[in-house]
Amino acid sequence: MRRALLDWYDGNARDLPWRRTRDPFAVWVAEVMLQQTRVETVIPYYARFLARFPDVFALADARLDDVLASWSGLGYYRRARLLHAGAMHVRDVHGGVVPSDPIAIREIPGVGAYTAGAIASQAFGANEPIVDGNVARFVSRLCAIDVDVKKGEGLARVWRISAALVASVERPGALNNALMEIGATVCVPREPRCLLCPVRAHCAARARGRETELPIATKKAKRPTVEEIAAVLRIEGDDRVLLARCAKDGLFAGLWEPPRVATKDAKRARVELSSSLGVDVDLAPKPKRSIEHALTHRRLRIEVHEGVLSRAPKKATNGEGRYDAWELVDLATLDARGVATLGRRMLGLSRRGRPRPPG
C-alpha cells in the first residue's frame, strides 16, 4: 500500500513551491501558513514572506509589526506571532540553525506535533508522521474508524496509524505528502473519488459501502454572536484615521484597527471612546456599514460609525484594556503595518487596501 501511495504521489503531486525545498526554515514557514488556510491563498504570501525574511535571523531580528504587516490578510495572526517567537528561540538557543532532532523541534515555541512532523520528515528525512484534516479524513475511511477523528481517541488512533505508515519507509517526507495530497484531491470530504484512488483495494470504508458516511463528525456547538461598535475617527480637516493597536494578549494582538467597543449603543460607545482616548469624540448616530465576521469560537457583528475627534489623543494608552497604542494614520501607508482583513473591512477597504465598490 505504501508503494502504491508513493507511486501515485510521484505521478500526481501538485507542483507546490514548498515541495521544491528541503530548507527547514522554508518548510516551517509553509507549514505554519498552511494551517487552516487554502494552498492557493498561501502561495503568494509564502513567496513574499520568504523574500522579506529569507532565514531564521532575518525573521528573528525583525520587528513584530513588520512580521504582522507581511502576514496581513492571511488571518490567524497568532501563527505569525508564534513563528516570530519560534525564530527568536532558534536564533538564541540553536545559533540560528533549525534543529533536526524531533524533540528539539517540538521545543520551539508554537511548533506542535503537526509542524514538527513536517519539518522532521520533509527537511531531515525523519520517519515522523503528520496528521492534518486531510490525513485524518483519509485514514478514518481507510480503516473505517467509527469515532470522531478530530479529537480524543479517534485523533490519537489516526496519529498511531500514520506513524505506522511512515515508519521505516525510505521517503517519509514524500509519504506524508502523499497522505495529505490524497486527502486533499481524491479522498475529498463530500464525494470521494474512489475510482481514482490508488489504495481503494485496501479501503475498509469502500469495502463496506461507507465512504460517504465517514468520517464521523460530532455536532459543533453554535458560536455565540457578539455585537460591537467600531469607530472610524478623524480630526476635522485631516484625512488621517485613528487606528488602535490591539494589546498583546488578545486575539488580534499587535494588529491595528479602528477602535471597537463591546456595545450596540452608539451613545455608550461615544462615552467609552471619549473616556479611553482622553479627547471628545463625536460619533454619527447611524452606522456607515455593518460587518459580520466569523472567528473560531464566536461571530462578531460590528456596526461601523464615522466620527470626529476634538484633537489627537495621546500616542500610547496606559497599557490597560483592549488597546496599547493609538495613532492617526494615512491610509495610503496602511500596508506598512499589520492590519487584519477585519480591520480593512471596518475601514471600507478590500483585503489589498483598495476601496470597496459601493454597496
Considering the complex, state which of residue 138 and residue 256 has its C-beta at the smaller distance from ligand SF4.
138
- All 3 cell numbers of residue 294? 466569523
Instruction: Give contact residues for ligand SF4 (rule: CB under 6 A).
Output: 138, 141-142, 186-187, 192-194, 197, 199-200, 203, 205-206, 211
Q: Which residues contact 317 (CB under 8 A, 6 or more apart)?
A: 276, 323, 324, 325, 326
Considering the complex, state which of residue 185 and residue 341 has its C-beta at the smaller distance from ligand SF4.
185
Closest Cα partner for 28 from 94, 100, 118? 118
Residue 136 near residue 155, CB atoms below 8 Å: yes
CB of 210 to ligand SF4, least distance (A): 8
Considering the complex, state which of residue 138 and residue 252 has its C-beta at the smaller distance from ligand SF4.
138
CB of 176 to ligand SF4, least distance (A): 16
Q: Which residues contact 1 (CB under 8 A, 6 or more apart)?
A: 199, 202
Residues catalogued as catalytic: 31
CB of 196 to ligand SF4, least distance (A): 7
CB of 193 to ligand SF4, least distance (A): 6
CB of 200 to ligand SF4, least distance (A): 4
Considering the complex, state which of residue 62 and residue 197 has its C-beta at the smaller distance from ligand SF4.
197
Considering the complex, state which of residue 178 and residue 269 has its C-beta at the smaller distance from ligand SF4.
178
140-143 long-range contacts (CB < 8 A, ≥24 apart) are: 140/205, 140/214, 140/215, 140/216, 141/187, 141/192, 141/203, 141/204, 141/205, 141/206, 141/210, 141/211, 141/214, 141/215, 142/199, 142/202, 142/203, 142/204, 142/205, 143/204
Q: What is the largest CA-CA distance in the chain?
A: 73
DSSP 61: T
- Residue 308 class from Cβ within 10 Å (0-12 exposed, 13-18 middle, 19+ buried)? middle
